[in-house]
Structures are given as structure tokens and as C-alpha cells.
Amino acid sequence: MSSVEDRRFDYDYDGIQEYDNPLPRWWVYLFIGTIIAAVVYIPYFHFGPGQLPTAAWQADMDEWNRLHPPVPLPDEAELAALAQQSGMPERGRQVFATRCVSCHAIDGGGQVGPNLTDDYAIHGWSRELITRVVNDGVPSKGMIPWGPQLSREDVVAVALHAYALRGTTPLSPKAPQGDPIGGPKPEADATGAH
């Protein structure tokens, strides 16, 4: 091991001397390695056939979406049939009780969210329209899109429950919002929100 004296450069600028303190070998090799990697990486990924991470992610997503096209929501007739399925009312009630009560109240009378029991609706009143608004939400107005969070079955069940709430009498109804719903009140149906 050379002494500290030995490792001084033998020049002297106005009394200032420089100590020869080379970087460790492994560090230098790593540094050279990054230069070599960059020479390969930049032309290949930025100008050549390689895909940058965001492009690769997008390609993966496109492929995934191609293989899994969104399943369309059931239409009015399908929903009417689903409403008759056994267990549907109970399931809808349960999902409503855990996911919706904070904004619509347990009996649908409304709090932050609109009253679901009256003869007014902002987004229309049919099984199909309600299923769509539950699935897609109205994020700008505070209604959560439930499609990405709940199974399709739960979305349908809870939408049918919300649909069936119209015409029931809540404890403290919120003032009507939206437009009057044309047509008669619903018959009591198998979603059984009565």
C-alpha cells in the first residue's frame, strides 16, 4: 500500500497539490457499462423497433381490451326478467345497504344523493337507465361509477332495488330533483322494496 505522500501528483500550483484519489475499479466499470448500455438502448428503444414502457403498456392494454370486450349492460327486457330471479331482491337490498345508504339513505329518501322514491329523476327512470347510471356513475356530481367496483350481478341487483324504491315512503324524503317521471307509479314487483 502506497503512502499518502506517494499518491500525490507531482505538480504544485501556488502551493496547491492534488491527491490522486482514483474511483474504485468497480465504479468505473459500472460507469462504462452504462455508456455502452445507453448506446444500445437509445437507438433501439427511442429510434428503433423497441417500445418504451408507456407504449408497451398501451399495447398490452389494447390487446387485453381486444380479448375482453366490455359486456353490454342488459336491456330493459332482460332486466325485467332478472328482477324475477330468486334471491335478486335480497341481494339488491344487501348491496344497497352497504354501498348506497351513505348518500341515498337506507329507504332511498336521499341525503347527498337524490331521493329515489319520488316521481322525479335526473337521469330518467327505467330499469335500463338506472342500471346505466349505477354502472357509469356521474363522477362530476358525486355519484360513484359502480361498474368497476361491483360485479355485474351486484350492479344489476342494486339497480333493480333502486328502481323498485320509487313509490315507497321514506322516513325523511329529500326534496325532488330532476324532471317529473311520466307514467304511473310502478306496481309492486319482485324486487320487493316495499
Residue 71 CB, shortest distance to ligand HEC, in Å, is 19
What is the radius of gyration, based on Cα positions, of the chain? 33
**Does residue 88 contact residue 146 with C-beta atoms inside 8 Å?**
no
What cell does 133 get? 347510471
Residue 78 CB, shortest distance to ligand HEC, in Å, is 18
User: How does strand 179-180 pair with strand 120-121?
Assistant: antiparallel
Residue 66 CB, shortest distance to ligand HEC, in Å, is 30
At position 139, the amino acid (one-letter code) is: P
144 versus 190: smaller Cβ distance to ligand HEC? 144
79 versus 133: smaller Cβ distance to ligand HEC? 133
Between CA 65 and CA 151 the distance in angstroms is: 18
Residue 165 CB, shortest distance to ligand HEC, in Å, is 9
**Does residue 108 contact residue 162 with C-beta atoms inside 8 Å?**
yes
Residues of this chain that interact with ligand HEC (CB under 6 A) are: 96, 99-100, 102-104, 112-114, 116, 121-123, 130, 133-134, 138, 141-144, 146, 158-159, 162, 177-178
